[in-house]
Structure 1
């Protein structure tokens, strides 16, 4: 679904004002943002602490303020990348422990329940120029934010927001029998969550269209990177899950290193194309067994005396497993390369895993890595 409506040029003043109404009186933010804390009992899951960070960089980065709705694995890496480039980055998470950890990285983090979106957080969101949506869909619910679309429109209809991107998944294509699929391929999701993902794509594209904001969808392949790779799985030596065993029978899986996702996002910011959908994958769709075999080789080469035999995914199960819910497909990334100008850092899992292995300490990592 491509919506070809160009975003209008908007005037951005030298200062901005955001009004919060958390209690009986208004709180205004002008040129010098202050800090407001509303503390409540931790036992109440609906109430939480809101912090508006005193960040003097905001006035100097009027066009570089990113809000990440749902800071997960990708969001955390992307946030750190942007902060290193001088951006002001804020976002949401769902646990106090994660909030505290992310704050130490320099992020302005807010606890948030997407099923019951708090207007205080949405009022903070509308101060930002860019919005990355990285919230998963849930069974029987779908995207938890879209049922509140009118509330979103109210809070995002301002002179600041200019770019929006929704992170989706290549699972929306369904089982394609190993065929090569690009963005023109008709999605045919084969399970409920994938169908809800497709509906979420359409919902966010429609919202962006109504707001006149350059809105994009990124369909991500299997995400891997530091702390989340075949190397980490082997080293941890944990039990193989049912889903992992199912994936072992797949002939093809399209993957993407987290560093390349960040590069694609930054390229999209500089080259917005309203309504466009992009496949974000590398050049080398490969079976999981092949990837784990290569990871095992890297581990044994680096720690020959410590790991004589590395674990690998089971391939000789007595039970015949159905195909993975993502289905066999080879996903094409030509639009990403041509339109966004992305040059992959890791065009293959081989390069990506080698980089991860090289970054690990020479001593054998513990199971907590």
Structure 2
């Protein structure tokens, strides 16, 4: 692949793209992402269905989680049609109220898996797809269980051009604190990490079969508004299993959700085939350093807000054996995608989060 250096960064708000040709094999009324649903219902075209000789780009999120919701809102603000899947009626209704067209899919619920063929039929009339459903122990990638159905459905017409699978830097395993890039040998240390690696290879293979621009994004520890060390300290909530594991690492690579959105935007502007990118900031740091900084920010903004004993503080930060893990390089992301980080360190990211918090907290 030719290396393309793009100076500066792509602002998250700059998400407009050119005209996407209509599928010549379908009548214009059938090029809508909603057409199969409308046709099945015997109704008219959706009010949100673009019409005329040009129409908006359309993004489909397989798994509307934290990252997907953030990026989806950025896209929607720029006039994209945004759809996706979620696992519950409650979530479907919440996201529907935000203006997204949602479909149910849950690998653990057989009755929802039955809906997958109709969801795939909808998905293929979108132009872009982000896959952010994590693997499931004992199942693997929930969507790729249906790989042949996926391939046959997406091969038959449609407008799909670009696909990105959101993976994790956990695929590298424990590298003893070494700096690792995308060419560093992968050595998953857990079943979930191994399933991530398997899913990466299978999504790349499917992208090849479908002739799509396909990328893998290996994300560091994701944080952002509502999901950060600042939020954890203020809420005094129980740590997730992932947080507990990270508590004992000497180095943890992180990435702010705004910078993930930047990278996704850049990748859409600069499509490529079978490219893997580490999406992390410049400053892999131990958990206790991050939490100490978050505590200082909270104390400066709201003196006396943190009222906890030393033992409570230690339970949040974590103590134990200090495994090296790894320091993940983002050089390829910067060089090939031209991403200039908004938050090159957790310091900038946490400061931004606390700056936007209300006194009512």
TM-score range, shorter chain: 0.7 to 0.9
Question: Per-residue deviation at 1:313?
Answer: 4.4
For residue 164 of structure 1, give the secondary structure of its aligned residue in structure 2: strand
Q: Could you tell me how far apart the structure 2 residues matched to 1:61 and 1:75 are?
A: 26
Corresponding position of 1:96: 89
TM-score by structure 2 length?
A: 0.84
Using the alignment, how far apart are the partners of 2:95 and 2:206 within structure 1?
A: 29
Distance 2:241 2:144 in 1: 31
Other-structure match for 1:216: 215
Q: Does 1:126 align with 2:124?
A: yes
Maintained 8 Å contact 2:266/2:338: yes
Give the equivalent residue in structure 1 for 2:346: 349
Please give the root-mean-square deviation of Cα atoms over the aligned residues, in Å. Answer: 2.8
Inter-CA distance 221–342: structure 2 relative to 1 (3 Å threshold): same
Q: Secondary structure at the match of 1:279?
A: strand
CA contact (8 A) 1:14 1:59 kept: no
Give the drift of 1:185.
0.2
Say whether the 8 Å CA contact 1:213–1:274 is kept in structure 2: yes
C-alpha spacing 1:17/1:176, structure 2 compared with 1 (3 Å): farther
Deviation at 1:12, TM superposition (A): 2.8
What's the CA shift for 1:159?
A: 4.5
Count of aligned residue pairs for this structure pair: 331
Contact 2:180 / 2:327 at 8 angstroms: preserved in 1? yes
Higher fraction of helix: 2
Give the superposition deviation at 1:106: 1.1
Question: Unaligned stretches of 5+ in structure 2?
Answer: 2-19
Which stretch of the first structure deviates more once superposed, 157-166 or 113-122?
113-122
Partner of 1:226: 225
Instruction: Report the secondary structure of 1:77's partner residue.
Output: helix
Cα-to-partner distance string for 1:111-148 (whole Å, 9 max, x where unaligned): 12346252111111111010111111011111011121
Q: Aligned residue for 1:12? A: 22
Note the C-alpha offset of 1:233.
0.3
Sort the Cα spacing of 1:261 and 1:32 in 2 relative to 1 into closer, same or farther, 3 A: closer
1:145 aligned residue? 143
- Do the aligned partners of 2:32 and 2:50 also contact (CA within 8 Å) in 1? no
Residues of 2 paired with 1:343 and 1:167: CA distance? 20
State the match for 2:256 in structure 1: 257
Find the counterpart in structure 2 of residue 186 from structure 1. 185
Does residue 113 of structure 1 match 2:102? no
State the Cα distance separating 1:54 from its structure 2 match: 3.1
Gaps of 5+ in 1: 3-9, 19-27, 40-51
| Cα distance between partner residues in 2 of 1:274 and 1:342 | 18
- Deviation of 1:56 (Å): 3.6
Contact kept in structure 1, 2:125 and 2:158, CA below 8 Å: no
Query: Is residue 96–residue 111 contact of structure 1 (8 Å, CA) maintained in 2?
Result: yes
Q: 1:155 offset after TM fit, Å?
A: 1.5
Counterparts in 2 of 1:91 and 1:246: CA distance versus 1, 3 Å: closer
Conserved in 2, the CA contact under 8 Å of 1:278 and 1:336? Answer: yes
- For residues 340 and 112 of structure 1, what CA distance do their matches in structure 2 show? 32
Q: Which string of whole-angstrom CA distances, capped at 9 and with x for unpartnered residues, describes residues 21-56 of structure 1?
A: xxxxxxx846796775999xxxxxxxxxxxx85314
Instruction: Name the SS of the counterpart of 1:251 in structure 2.
Output: strand
- Give the distance between the partners of 1:60 and 1:224, measured in 2 at CA: 40
Distance 1:221 1:14, change over 3 A: same
The 1:155/1:173 distance shift into structure 2, 3 A limit, reads same
What are the superposed Cα offsets for residues 309-349 of structure 1, whole Å, 9 maximum, x if unpaired? 586343675xx5685xxx71000001101101111110000
**What corresponds to 2:5 in structure 1?**
none
Residue 182 to residue 82, structure 1, CA distance change in 2 (3 Å): same
1:328 paired residue number: 325
- Is 1:172 the counterpart of 2:159 in the alignment? no
In the superposition, relative to structure 1, how do residues 312 and 36 fare at CA in structure 2: closer, same or farther (>3 Å)?
farther
Alpha-carbon distance between aligned partners in 2 of 1:264 and 1:215, rounded to the nearest angstrom? 14
Distance in 1 between residues matched to 2:161 and 2:240, nearest whole Å:
42
